[in-house]
Chains A and B, each alone.
Chain A
Amino acid sequence: MTAKSKITISRRTLLAGASGTLIASRAWAQQPAEVKVGLLVPISGLYARPGTVMREGAEMAIDHINAQGGVKALGGAKLKLVVLDSGDTTEKAKNAAQRMVAQETDLVAASGAYLSSFTLAVTEVTERANLPMLTLSYSDLITERGFKYVFQTAATAGSQAKQALPQLIKLAETASGKRPKTVAILTDNTGASIASAKAMREGLLAENQLQLIVDETFTPPLADATSLVQKIRSAKPDLLFFLPTVISDAKLLLEKMNEFGLGQGKIPTISFGIAIAEPDMLQTVSPELLQGVLTCVASWGAKGHEALIAELKTRYKEPWMTQNAISTYGDMWVIKDALEKAGKADRVAVGEALRTMDGGPSKYYPLGEIKFDEKGRRVGAGMTIVQWQTGVPVTVFPPELALAKPFWPKS
């Protein structure tokens, strides 16, 4: 397969060189009708649900791009999505990545792989194969290895906490009339949660004049949240940062808070990450308990995405558009833009295009531009704050993307 396409290209180059522009323009017309783009996400096992949502986002984007005429620089070539299952372990993810680069040799770029530990393993493979990889994983580590072919579209974990805190305080102040002074942190010990909590403990809270009065780390899944909630009740913090990854933990804690009379906003509860805003939450937790709960996420369906949210709803029966759907949707457009800039369906050229592109303000990722710094991080990447309002988590921050006004739970 590889050998064959190489021969074709070299013959074509030769002909073009020998016979001038006429034949060269014929070569344009012979550009492949399809350009393959990879999506390496978990579609089986423990993380199948978010992976499936990512695929839905990608499929929608591919359909929209093709419907709007494909890649114009390649004579209207259509994009074709190649989906690979990263499974539910790091080893499976790495194997899938190896399969992707070995057997899908004509991919120009890919997106994936949900969990940051998967992305770390996958990009070890794609980097060596010069395959550009866009990712919504936000571990700082991903873009700290000096890789050239990894592009992180979300703000990194450290940066997210930094951005979120002042906004949350401002929100609390305007809504309740007084500035919060004390906070509690309840976090599980998974990678992303630990990273966010660490950033807060080591400086961010102090910078924002917040005093940490309860600091508890637990291992999911929780068997009982009583002792945790008792600690919060006796300390009475102004804010509770609650960082679960497992839905059952979120349910357990919220129910226990309610039982103790702390729920439904008596103590404003703020999360990081999308676990607490996944559609699956509603299957186990009642909307009343969730009302007012805030979460800081890297990206969310927001203002300007109304049509997309509606389409996702009708086409895939998804109640709202999570980070997984909108970010992956955006990834496909970025790859398309890079193809336009590169002018050829070649992974190295696409990588170069991504590194040098300046695509202006971002449409699908929150804030910032479609431009990557030398580490591969998106320039000016912002984040969104989402709030549960009558059974739907809606974007309430930043104001230019907000679909609803935030309310501060009344105590």
Chain B
Amino acid sequence: MLRMRSLLPPLLFTLAYAGISLGVTNSYYQLILTLVPVWAVFGLSWNLLSGYTGLISFGHAAFFGIGAYATALGQIYFDISPWLLIPVAAILGGIAGLLIGFPTFRLQGHYFALAMLAYPLAILYVFEWLGFQEVTLPIKREAPIAYMQFADPHLYTLLGLALMLATIVLTQVIERSRFGMALLAIKQNEAAAEAAGINTLAWKLRAITLSGAIAAAIGGFYAQVLLVVTPGSVFGMLVSAQALTVAMFGGVGTVWGPVIGSVILIPLAEILHAEAGARIPGIQGVIFGLAIVCVILLAPEGLFWKLRDLLRKRNAPKATASDIAETVAPNVTTLRPASPRPATGEVVLEVRNLSRSFGGLKAVQDVSFKLHKNEILGIIGPNGAGKTTLFNLLNGFLKPSQGEVLIGGRDMSGQRPHVICEAGIGRTFQVMRPFLRMSILDNVVVGAYVRARTDDQARQFAADAVARVGLSAVADRVAGELSTKELRLMELARAIAGQPRILLLDETLAGLGHGEADEVVAVIQQLARDGITIAIIEHTMQAMVRLVDRFLVLDHGAVITEGLPEVVTRDSRVVEAYLGKKWAGHAAN
């Protein structure tokens, strides 16, 4: 049902486009109609990597050019048909993606973008050095169809359309699967994704491999349309830029973005070139550039999102206030003050002599503690005490310099975060990075894949998790419309969707008002009653005293003391660490 409904728009679009194409007899317009799907597919391939993961690639021409040259040289030197060469080009593009991705994914943000820029430029010079400055496809007068050389230009358009439809459907399938969710999670917060049990490097490599394959295939087809391949025309800066332009103009991170961008920009550029350029040479570039600047200013994320937001606003004129009031679901019974839960004695997490230093700074030194099943451990300490660093060591963001982390008796120190997540540790973050355009449920699904075997099961886990934090009533709302409290609960839901045994909560109460904090506290208590063991970092002592069973106090990276709340809060060392020596005396009185 869902499959059919999502398949219909691209199918209708393709049919309509094909209809228009068949009605066009002018061979020049037909060529433009052929180039639109070419650049749309190239934009889609870029979108698959950069749109969904947020890792901007300035170098997609590398794949495009490899495809184009493979298709051209294969015909010239081996007399192979492009029908075979284009799939071969796709394989080569995929391999190139893997080879490029593996070292380059070590970099992030701008560094990744700049490194990607280098690949096509480097390859360009290699092809020049090899003497392939100008390569023309041999004309095949005897068997034109076998060599994809059609006398009827409509066929090129139809073939381009078929490639576009296939790419759109593939993108849609990915978008809705674990694959797409993983990529979106990486875009939101790569660290959080790792912590949610997603093997980010593996998914990124899959994305760049597939993206490279699609780009190379369409590059091969482009060579077939252009009939001449030069390094500049397939590896050049402008080629890489074309992918970004159509995708960013139309909308990043959606299947329709690059299609919209291409449908508008490619003919526009040509019309300007033919009409305005004939009067004032060069003016076409100025108008084209200005048009793009204006659209980016008015719709920074692209036309698709702007239009969707406008439609949404019109269709949902009033966000019903009553909905928001009812967000705390009845299945959470507020309980206070915390009745001490006797620890069962079973140790689920044991930390032995854990240390980590950054240069001369000992951020965590010789920390040892045990986490018993079903307890809530509060980890407190002043700013810079090493609380978050400790969490990062526990869930694998950092490797310890010394010491061990035993999960269920097994030493897991130094493992990658997603491995530790699979072992049953979930975590939330001090700084939230929800995916604002996605619904709460979709945000939470990301965290469920670590346990779920199928997409359906993941949805089920996510729905359960949303219910447990009391957000069921608003599960379909997009995250961008939520309050801070709801976002905190959503993060919590994402962490428990992966069905962890141990939950590490990093300042989950930060930024909440008094009443709001109480609601979240109630949810956490309920989770503990349901059998999850919790370690929580917090500044606000007030809420913590009511929440936790036991405190662990850190200062300068070392454990000062450990014990029951009422004991710890009166400990002069704790007061000193928080307030300074002067107040330690007052506290004693």
B280-288, B349-357, B517-525 - interface stretch: B280-288
Can you identify 9 A-B contacts, CB atoms within 8 angstroms? A43-B281, A85-B273, A94-B228, A121-B227, A124-B228, A141-B134, A189-B125, A191-B134, A219-B128
Cβ-based interface call for B145 (8 A):
no
Determine the chain A residues whose CB is within 8 A of the CB of B227 once the complex forms: 94, 121, 124
CB distance from A307 to the nearest CB of B (A): 29
Given contacts A89-B238, A90-B228, A90-B233, contact A120 B136 (CB under 8 A): yes
Determine the chain B residues whose CB is within 8 A of the CB of A194 once the complex forms: 128, 131, 133
Q: Which residue of B lies closest to A42 (CB)?
A: B281
| Contact residues of A between 91 and 139, Cβ < 8 Å to B | 91-92, 94-96, 98-99, 101-103, 116-117, 120-121, 124, 128, 139
Query: In the complex, are the beta carbons of B277 and A85 less than 8 A apart?
Result: yes
Query: In the complex, are the beta carbons of A146 and B139 less than 8 A apart?
Result: yes
Cβ-based interface call for B232 (8 A):
yes
Determine the chain B residues whose CB is within 8 A of the CB of A258 once the complex forms: none
Question: A198 vs B128: C-alpha distance in the bound complex, in angstroms?
Answer: 13
Cβ-based interface call for A87 (8 A):
yes
Question: A121 vs B131: C-alpha distance in the bound complex, in angstroms?
Answer: 18
What are the 7 A-B residue pairs with the smallest beta carbon separation, nearest first? A191-B133, A102-B28, A44-B282, A90-B233, A44-B281, A121-B228, A43-B281
Query: In the complex, are the beta carbons of B281 and A85 less than 8 A apart?
Result: yes
Determine the chain B residues whose CB is within 8 A of the CB of A139 once the complex forms: 134
Given contacts A117-B134, A191-B133, contact A87 B273 (CB under 8 A): yes
Cβ-based interface call for A145 (8 A):
yes
Determine the chain A residues whose CB is within 8 A of the CB of B230 once the complex forms: 90, 117, 191
Query: In the complex, are the beta carbons of B228 and A95 less than 8 A apart?
Result: no
Question: A43 vs B134: C-alpha distance in the bound complex, in angstroms?
Answer: 22
Cβ-based interface call for B129 (8 A):
yes
Binary interface profile of B, 127-143, with partner A (CB < 8 Å = 1, else 0)? 01101011010110000
Q: Which residue of B lies closest to A85 (CB)?
A: B277
Tally of contact residues, A, Cβ under 8 A = 38
Determine the chain B residues whose CB is within 8 A of the CB of A189 once the complex forms: 125, 128-129, 133
Query: In the complex, are the beta carbons of B226 and A91 less than 8 A apart?
Result: yes
A→B interface (CB under 8 Å):
43-45, 48, 83-85, 87, 89-92, 94-96, 98-99, 101-103, 116-117, 120-121, 124, 128, 139, 141, 145-147, 189-191, 194, 198, 217, 219
Determine the chain A residues whose CB is within 8 A of the CB of B273 once the complex forms: 85, 87, 92, 95-96
Question: A96 vs B274: C-alpha distance in the bound complex, in angstroms?
Answer: 8
Which among B31, B134, B277 has the highest number of chain A CB atoms within 10 Å?
B134
B→A interface (CB under 8 Å):
26-29, 31-32, 35, 125, 128-129, 131, 133-134, 136, 138-139, 151, 226-228, 230, 232-233, 236, 238, 270, 273-274, 277-278, 281-282, 284-285
A-B contact count (CB 8 A): 99
Q: Which residue of A lies closest to B32 (CB)?
A: A95
Question: A198 vs B281: C-alpha distance in the bound complex, in angstroms?
Answer: 36
Given contacts A44-B284, A121-B227, contact A99 B274 (CB under 8 A): yes
Determine the chain B residues whose CB is within 8 A of the CB of A98 once the complex forms: 27-28, 31
CB distance from A129 to the nearest CB of B (A): 8
Query: In the complex, are the beta carbons of B274 and A94 less than 8 A apart?
Result: no
Question: A191 vs B227: C-alpha distance in the bound complex, in angstroms?
Answer: 17
Question: A84 vs B275: C-alpha distance in the bound complex, in angstroms?
Answer: 10
CB distance from A215 to the nearest CB of B (A): 14
Question: A48 vs B139: C-alpha distance in the bound complex, in angstroms?
Answer: 30
Query: In the complex, are the beta carbons of B31 and A95 less than 8 A apart?
Result: yes
Question: A83 vs B277: C-alpha distance in the bound complex, in angstroms?
Answer: 11
Question: A117 vs B231: C-alpha distance in the bound complex, in angstroms?
Answer: 10
Given contacts A44-B282, A94-B226, A102-B27, contact A117 B133 (CB under 8 A): yes
Determine the chain B residues whose CB is within 8 A of the CB of A116 once the complex forms: 134
Query: In the complex, are the beta carbons of B232 and A90 less than 8 A apart?
Result: yes
